[in-house]
Amino acid sequence: MRNKSHRAAQTAAVTGVMAALCLSALYCAELLPVGRVGITAVAGLVLACSVVSAGLIPGICGYAVVSLLGFLILPVKDCLLLFVCFFGLYPLLKSLFERLRLLPLVWVLKFLFFNAVLTLFWTLLREILFPFLPAALHTAAPLYLVGNVAFIVYDVGFSKLMTFYSLRVDRVLRRMQ
């Protein structure tokens, strides 16, 4: 019985620490004038580490906690919105998609999710984004082309970072237990 309660406490602690790191990264993203999207992506990577170390259900709980506390605590919500819609949700969905083990279907699901989020941001935030986008991206076709290429690079890099975390960091953490 002690081992089961010890494991539950450990899972809760890992999830809580990762959620705190994730929220801290989002707060830094709000404060810094540059690199905001990159820091928001790092917050998503921290959440993915929580999924690797604690499991999918604790990862979902961490995502919910970070999202809720972010809406309550963060002074500006733009990076949080990006986290809630993509960078925080994608690690959870990626974990589910990759359990299918059918590579073409996995990529179709990933692209469907990414393009749905891109369409959401394109339709809802077009007026806000236009001043910051290069003129070549003011139409949808180049934006989707560049966005999908960037997404492939992001996904491959994300997978490599999660493999590194799983083999090097998480393994050491599990041995320390």
Task: Tell me the mean pLDDT in the region 96-121.
Answer: 94
Q: Which domain holds residue 49?
A: 2-176
Structure confidence at residue 133 (pLDDT): 65
Structure confidence at residue 98 (pLDDT): 93
Count Cβ neighbours within 10 Å for each residue of 115-154 and write b for 16 or more, e otherwise.
Answer: eebbeebeeeeeeeeeeeeeeebeeeeebbeebeeebeeb
In sequence order, what are the residues at sequence separation of 6 or more whose Cβ sits closer than 8 angstroms to the Cβ of residue 129?
121, 122
Q: What is the pLDDT of residues 70-84, one digit of tens each?
A: 999 999 888 999 999
Task: Tell me the mean pLDDT in the region 21-47.
Answer: 93
Domain count, the chain: 1
Structure confidence at residue 168 (pLDDT): 86
Structure confidence at residue 137 (pLDDT): 62
**What number of helices (H) and strands (E) belong to the chain?**
8, 0
Structure confidence at residue 110 (pLDDT): 97
Reference 174, options 14, 2, 5; nearest CA is 14
